[in-house]
Amino acid sequence: MKFPLVKAAAAFLACAAMSAGPVQAQQATLRLISAFPENGIYVQHLQAWVKKFNEEGKGVLQLNFLGGPKTMPPFEVGNAVKTGVVDIALNTGAFYTNVLPEADFLKLSDVPVAEQRKNGAFEAINKVWNEKGNMQYLARMVEHQPFHLYINKKIDKPDLTGMKIRITPVYREFFQALNANVITTPPGEVYTALERGVVDGYGWPIGGIFDLNWQEKTKFRVDPGFYDAEVSLIMNLPAYKKLTPPQLAYLNKQLLALEAQNGFWDRYAEEETARQAKAGIQTIKFDDATARRYRDMAYEVGWATAAKQSPEVAARFKSLLSRPAAGSRP
């Protein structure tokens, strides 16, 4: 009695498999957007990767780069990924704290992403990103780019009393702890804010200030740097789950290839430091003990803020992303 049914089911499955064949072999195209400016180093780096991705991924997976802030305001990109308006974004946690406050914690990492993939950090990140952000955290494209404070008024100690500083959530609590008045803007508004004297300085990583001509309006860089700029690819979770096994394998291969290039950022940091000096930007250096206190304060304030916003995740991330002896960094 049962046999014909089983046979029918088997025939149905065979048919389904046959029709799934061509579907599986089909090429999918993912829509990719950048929260960072079109003409900046991050998008240049990304586009070289996209070109190779599309050349080698014909018939499997393609990326359609839609653009940057001219296409969508940077602080809306996280929500666009969450809701599936776009599939993938190049973004930084500070730009989507509106979706996921925990996203900004990744700046506090001092464990290389290659190690994060081995020590469970990547899974821990994805658990939060999946559950709270409806996103998959795909890859970290930027590492070894500490943030700095750039200012137009000379200081001889870490005190920003009376100064207005352009920030994103990356720097908020740290600069406030240094007594600054802070103003949040996306990168695209920094030049005008400096030009009009709306701000006396800004936070930004060691690299990239020439991309939007900020060197014209920058007198000093304060050393040392602190944290590590996190710029990553994130993907809408349902879109990620829809990928076929060959598409997923291809995506993963290319994501690892992208991260394998992260040594680039060490060289870039050196080049940009030299370029800033050549452009007449002076370095403000504190004595060793003050420099150490400044940097340690950045991390202490950063982790304390994280613990206030999301205690369990902050504790988990701290154990996975932070080297021990945080107080004794070089």
Residues binding ligand 173 (CB under 6 A): 92, 94, 168, 170, 187, 203-205, 229, 231
Torsion angles phi and psi, residue 196, rounded to 5? -85, 0
Smallest gap from residue 325 Cβ to ligand 173 (A): 25
Minimum distance from residue 65 beta carbon to ligand 173 (Å): 19
CB of 326 to ligand 173, least distance (A): 21
Report which of 329, 299, 327, 328 is spatially closest to residue 314, judged by C-alpha positions. 299
H/E element holding 181?
Answer: strand 181-184
Q: How far apart are CA 79 and CA 99, in angstroms?
A: 6
- Comparing CB distances to ligand 173, the nearer of 43 and 251 is 43
CB of 170 to ligand 173, least distance (A): 4
CB of 330 to ligand 173, least distance (A): 23
Minimum CB distance to ligand 173 smaller for 193 or for 239: 193
Q: At 201, give phi and psi (nearest 5°).
A: 175, 180
**Helical H segments across the chain, by residue range:** 2-25, 41-56, 77-83, 113-116, 121-133, 172-177, 190-195, 237-241, 245-260, 264-278, 288-309, 311-321
> Minimal CB distance to ligand 173: which residue?
168
Could you give the C-alpha distances from 174 to 2, 149, 184, 213, in angstroms and in order?
A: 71, 11, 14, 25
Of 144 and 250, nearer to ligand 173 (C-beta) is 144
**158 vs 201 by CB, closer to ligand 173:** 201
Q: Is 244 exposed, middle or buried (0-12, 13-18, 19+ CB in 10 A)?
A: middle
Least spacing, CB of residue 261 vs ligand 173, in Å: 17
Q: Other C-beta atoms within 10 Å of 277: how many? A: 12
Q: Tokens 């932070």 belong to which residue?
A: 322
Give the number of other CB atoms < 10 A from CB of residue 97: 19
For residue 226, the minimal CB distance to ligand 173 (Å) is 13
Distance, CA of 151 to CA of 203 (rounded, Å): 9
Closer residue to ligand 173, CB minimum distance, 106 or 251: 106
Nearest CA among 209, 98, 196 for reference residue 150: 209
Tokens of 38: 């079109």
Nearer to ligand 173, 191 or 292 (CB): 191
Q: Tell the smallest beta-carbon distance from residue 303 to ligand 173 (Å).
A: 17
How many residues are listed for the chain in this entry? Answer: 330
- Using the minimum distance from each CB to ligand 173, give the nearer residue, 202 or 286: 202
Which of 81/229 has CB closer to ligand 173? 229
Is the four-CA dihedral 228, 287, 271, 38 of positive or negative sign?
positive
